[in-house]
Every structure is written in C-alpha cells, then in structure tokens.
Amino acid sequence: MIAPGAQAPDFTLPDQDGNEVSLSDYAGRKLILAFYPLDFSPVCTDQLSIYQEVLGEIEERGGAIAGVSVDSAFCHAAFREKLGLTIPLLADFHPKGAVCDAYGAFLPDYGTSNRSLVLIGEDGAVAWSYAAPTPMEIPGANLIFDALDSGA
C-alpha cells in the first residue's frame, strides 16, 4: 500500500460516462480514492452504498471521493445506476489494474484491487492510506472521517 508522504501517482481514467478523469482535476482539494474489487458483488455493493450515504459528510469535511476498480466504464455506469450513486467510478480496465497497482492496491492473484482507501492532500501527496486485511472487509466510513478530521 502506498505510504503517506509519497507523491500520489498521476492517473487519467475513464469514468462511468467515458469522460477522462485525472488526478489533476482534484488539484487543491482532498481526494479519497476508494479502491474496490468489482461492481455488482454483494460486498462492493454494500461498500459503495455506505460511501454514498455519507457523501455529504465527506464533502462537509472538505473531501471528494471517487471509486476505482478494474471494471469497464460500461459496467460502472450500470452499477452506478442500479445503486443510485453519484460518486464517480473510475475504470482501471486497461491496462488492467495499472492505477490500482501504482497505489499498492492491486491483488495480482485475483486480478482485482483490494479494498483500500487513499487520501490525497491538496498538495498532491498521499496524506493517509488504508488496506483492508482481506477483500471481504469493508473499510468503514469512520476511517474516512478520521483521516479527513486529522488534518491529514
């Protein structure tokens, strides 16, 4: 997992609508990258639903959040619509998992990312990171709030 203090690896990925989203689009803002294995799995559905429920609180703390998985933009669009999400979902589809890997969240034995959170500060450096012990464990919203509230 990428360590706090490291410069956040740059990326440009398509979102659920096929629009290119880059790290630089969030310059001067705190960004939580929420890595998750796959759209439509039961645990991922719960994870993204939780983050959607607390999106207002994340924004009140000065943060933005984007989900990242190895699924395609088309899959992200269907997943987002099914769950009623407004959180952008970024497709690390090709080359598969390259951004997940750059952040230390890729699980090569499974071909997916682990459930991981990375807070990128306004300066573009990693302020905080967390990797779930297993892909079956959802990193709770409290971890996000604690990271944002700590001034990280």
In this structure, what CATH number is given to the domain that contains residue 121?
Answer: 3.40.30.10
How many domains does the chain divide into?
1
Share of the chain above pLDDT 70, in %: 99
In a domain, 96, yes or no: yes
Instruction: Report CA-CA distances (Å) from 121 to 77, 142, 150.
Output: 27, 18, 12
Parent domain of 66? 12-149
DSSP-derived pairing of the beta strands 63-69 and 89-91:
parallel
Q: Provide the mean pLDDT of the chain.
A: 96
> What are 133's two structure tokens?
């012990």
pLDDT (tens digit per residue) in 41-58: 999 999 999 999 999 999
Residue among 31, 32, 44, 131 flagged as catalytic = 44
In this structure, is residue 23 part of a structural domain?
yes
Examine the pLDDT at 132 and tell me if it is beyond 70.
yes
- 44 belongs to the catalytic site: yes
Residue 73 in this model has a pLDDT that exceeds 90: yes
111 is a domain residue: yes
Helix then strand then coil, % of the chain, to nearest 5: 30, 25, 45
Please give the structure tokens belonging to residue 145. 């709030």
Whether 95 maps to a domain, the answer reads yes
For 119, 123, 133, 135, 144, the CA distances from 31, given in Å and listed in that order, are 6, 11, 22, 22, 10
Does position 98 have pLDDT exceeding 80, yes or no?
A: yes
In this prediction, residues 110-136 reach a mean pLDDT of: 96
- Cα–Cα distances (Å) from 93 to 21, 103, 129, in that order, read 14, 15, 22
Please check whether residue 52 lies inside any domain of the structure.
yes
Dist. CA 132–CA 109, nearest whole Å? 16
Is 152 a residue whose pLDDT tops 70? Answer: no
The percent of residues above 90 in pLDDT, for the chain, comes to 97
* Residue 102 pLDDT grade (very low, low, confident, very high; cuts 50, 70, 90): very high
pLDDT at 151 exceeding the cut of 90: no
Looking only at the bridges linking them, the beta strands covering 12-14 and 20-22 are antiparallel
Give a yes or no: residue 4 inside a domain.
no
In a domain, 131, yes or no: yes
Q: Domain for residue 30, yes or no?
A: yes
